[in-house]
Structure 1
């Protein structure tokens, strides 16, 4: 008599449990680079405000003066925020059942 072989089926996780590389935080190098770019842009605008403070007469001088005083604070806050990272923490998925289970009599 021929015995039929029992071929176990492989169990796969549902697609919603699979982790995505796009849900990971950015690398420290990319994060630092992004923060430095924001800081440099804000401080460049401050430099322009300082130059315009000396060049522009009348009440506009006060607008550029306020910009030159407030922009360093804004630049530091932007630089310290860091990346937003993942929307939610990456957690390990559900452990799939064993593909080969022990036979029960």
Structure 2
């Protein structure tokens, strides 16, 4: 009798709650960096002001794109193992 591969729970994608929490954390970090950029635009003199202004303008786009990217899913496709009765029938037919 051939042994079937055992499915692993680690091959499953992240739960919707974990995925949402991860995306919210990434978005919050990006918006915190944007807020810091706004503050630095006011504080920093000379040409550095423009660097932080560009960061404050561009960061929301990347934050939204990263927040909307969901979990990639399972690495390997998960196929259900055949039922024991089905395996017995297949063995009898051979």
Q: What is the TM-score normalised by the length of structure 1?
A: 0.75
Q: Secondary structure at the match of 1:75?
A: helix
What does residue range 1-105 of structure 1 map to in structure 2 within 5 Å?
A: 11=1, 13-14=3-4, 17-94=5-82, 97-98=87-88
| 5+ long unaligned stretches in structure 2 | none
Structure with higher helix content: 2
TM-score, length-scaled by structure 2:
0.83
User: What are the ranges of 5 or more consecutive residues in structure 1 without an aligned counterpart?
Assistant: 1-10
Compare CA radii of gyration and give the structure with the larger one. Answer: 1
Aligned residues: 89
Q: Aligned-pair RMSD on alpha carbons?
A: 2.1
Shift >4 Å, 4+ stretches: none
